[in-house]
Amino acid sequence: MKRQKIILYNPKAVFYTMPLALLAIASNLDPQKYDVQIIDGRIEKEPLKRVLSAADGALCLGITALTGNPIRDALRVSRAVKARRPDLPIVWGGWHPSLFPTQTLADEPGIDITVQGQGEVTFREIVGCLSEGESLQNVLGIAFRENGEIMQNPPRPLTDVNRLPGVNYGIAEVEKYFQLKNRRQFDYITSAGCFFRCAFCADPFVYNRKWTALTPERIGEEIERHHRRYQFSDLDFQDETFFTHRKRVAAIAEEFLRRGINITWAGTMRADQGSRMDEAEFALCAESGLRRVLIGVESGSQEMMDWMRKDIKIEQVFECAEKCLRHKIAAIFPFIVGFPGESDASVAATLDMAKRLRSMHPEFDTPIFYFKPYPGSQITREVVNKGYQLPKTIAEWADFDYIGSSGPWVSGEKFRLIERFKFYNRIAGGRNHWYERPLRRLAKWRCDHGFYHLPLEKTVIEKLKPLPRLS
């Protein structure tokens, strides 16, 4: 029996994480029935040309869509394919269709189906229906067109990830991602969902505060097998909250050591999770190769933390930082400023905490981002109720920059202060070549004294070496 061709497309973006979502849904399809091709706009020279060529004879085209600039490329590809093959079903999944399941269809006639939340089982059922010419009415977790009307089915409960097959990385061009990253860094995810209720995040809306994770034994077996095949030196866990259960993380570390997997690895950690881990568990993780954790702090003001339902304490952040220092683990501590109604005192507290953490070790990074009302979050619902206008169409959402720009709650003066602080704090706390030491001393003096006027050094350096785009 001839296999049916399925095309999956990953839009252009500025980061080179392996397309884990597409790999997961592709791996959940029967390889005896389907020939799945993943085309990644980030690594192809002419991705649209390749998609159009592959679309001939395909059963459907699936696209993962993240809110913001990736939507623009996703729309370009969808429209071009629909013009070439009006009969080809186009399925969008990912964060944006999960948040706007019907609006996406209403805004763009070329999109036929959207998938909400976890997509492995949902996409398999969609493909089965398309293959057999059956109705989509019984497929949970989708919105779709039927007889000219937009329909939305009930949500799909979160599937235990241990019931899903392992990811077949052979569908992707793994070596190209290594080349683009300039390191043999392998991307892997062990869980889906998130238990927590942060008011600035869309996870509680999409996953309803549910979480499911692979067993340590399965992780150990899969990583060992992938390591033998791809010979990577570093492993980046892409979980929302990798350290959700400390005993599970310790068991994963033990699996790495028992199997002799000689790699470094990184993962996401909440401050309350790290504060509950004892020294032996930190030591075990470090021994197994843990090189870096990402701990979202968000604010230096406990009042702001409580308002955004972060459910951590400032003391816990510093407990984690001290443990990382003792066990020689690097850390990234992201912050967010510019919330609606945030006081100058709160912003000052955040800058002060970022400065304190950065000064603890050159391998402690403290990036600062601006709050933008990302759809699906509690804070976004509140600001919309007060009159804030979100983008109204999918084309407007393509212009939504949720990383690089500030919202209307940040004045020009405050924006300049924060941007100057970010520049000098980064230099003051980092490792520098000998010829950069005078600049480091000057940056440290500025941070110590809170003096950021006449930032001539910043102007010159950023002109000579512009910062990379983040979105």
Partners of 226 in beta bridges: none
- Of 364, 388, 410, the one marking the end of a domain is 410
Residues 147 and 193 in one domain: no
C-alpha span between 198 and 272 (Å, rounded) = 13
Q: Is 260 part of a structural domain of the chain?
A: yes
Q: Judge whether 12 lies within some domain.
A: yes
Considering the domain architecture, whether residues 336 and 189 belong to the same structural domain is answered as yes
> Which tokens belong to 76?
């370009």
Q: Are residues 103 and 187 in the same domain?
A: no
Packing angle, helices 47-55 and 69-84, rounded to 10? 40
Same domain, 135 and 282: no
Which of 353, 369, 452 has its CA nearest to residue 404? 369
Q: Tell me: do 144 and 187 sit in the same domain.
A: no
Interval 192-219 mean pLDDT? 91
Average pLDDT over all residues of the chain = 94
| Whether residues 145 and 192 fall in one domain | no
Same domain, 355 and 251: yes
- Domain membership flag for residue 458: no
Q: How confident is the model at residue 468 (pLDDT cuts 50, 70, 90)?
A: low
Q: Are residues 264 and 335 in the same domain?
A: yes
> Is residue 171 assigned to a domain?
no
- Per-residue confidence (pLDDT) for residue 437, from 0 to 100: 86
One domain, residues 296 and 378 = yes
Q: Among the three residues 131, 152, 173, which one is the final residue of a domain in this structure?
A: 152
pLDDT band at residue 174, thresholds of 50, 70 and 90? very high
The answer to whether 444 and 428 have CB atoms below 8 angstroms apart is yes
28-53 pLDDT, tens digit per residue, is 999 999 999 999 999 999 999 999 99
Calculate mean pLDDT across residues 334-356. 95
Whole-Å CA distances, 205 to 135, 213, 221:
28, 19, 33
Pairwise CA distance, residues 406 & 369, whole Å: 8
Q: What is the DSSP letter of 90?
A: E
What pLDDT, on a 0 to 100 scale, did the predictor assign at position 404? 65
Q: How far is CA 254 from CA 86, 335, 380, in A?
A: 53, 32, 41
Whether residue 172 is contained in a domain is answered as no
C-beta neighbour count of 42 within 10 angstroms: 19
**Residue 431 banded pLDDT, cuts 50, 70, 90:** confident
What tokens were used for 162? 């241990």
Would 451 be classed as within a structural domain? Answer: no
CATH number of the domain that 83 lies in?
3.40.50.280
Q: Where are the beta strands (DSSP E) in 41-117?
A: 58-64, 90-93, 113-115
Q: Verify that 127 and 211 share a domain, yes or no.
A: no
CATH code of the domain covering residue 208: 3.20.20.70
Reported confidence tier of residue 463, pLDDT bands at 50, 70, 90: confident
Q: What is the pLDDT of residue 332?
A: 98
**Same domain assignment for residues 191 and 137:** no
Share above pLDDT 90 across residues of the chain, in percent, rounded to a whole number = 82
Is the pLDDT assigned to residue 72 strictly greater than 90? yes
Under DSSP, the state recorded for 171 is G
Q: Is residue 255 part of a domain?
A: yes
- Report the pLDDT value the prediction gives residue 403, as an integer from 0 to 100: 67
Residue 402 has what pLDDT? Answer: 66
Residue 20: its pLDDT value, please? 97
pTM above 0.85, yes or no: yes
Please check whether residue 357 lies inside any domain of the structure: yes
Domain extent at residue 382: 183-410
For the chain, how big is the Rg over CA atoms in Å? 23
Q: Which of 336, 331, 345, 346 is nearest to 429 (CA)?
A: 331
Give the mean pLDDT of 426-448.
85
Query: Mean of the pLDDT values across residues 110-120?
Result: 96
Q: How confident is the model over 137-163, as a mean pLDDT?
A: 96
Type of residue found at 459: T
Tell me the per-residue pLDDT of 234-293, one tens digit each, with 9 for 90 and over.
999 999 999 999 999 999 999 999 999 999 999 999 999 999 999 999 999 999 999 999
Q: How far apart are CA 268 and CA 198, in angstroms?
A: 15
Whether 215 and 184 have beta carbons less than 8 Å apart is answered as no
Examine the pLDDT at 100 and tell me if it is beyond 80: yes
pLDDT at 469 over 70: no
Count the domains in the chain: 2
Q: Are residues 129 and 42 in the same domain?
A: yes
Boundary residue ending a domain (133, 152, 171): 152
| Whole-angstrom distance, CA of residue 357 vs CA of residue 95 | 32
297 contact partners, CB below 8 Å, separation of at least 6:
271, 317, 333, 334, 335, 353, 357
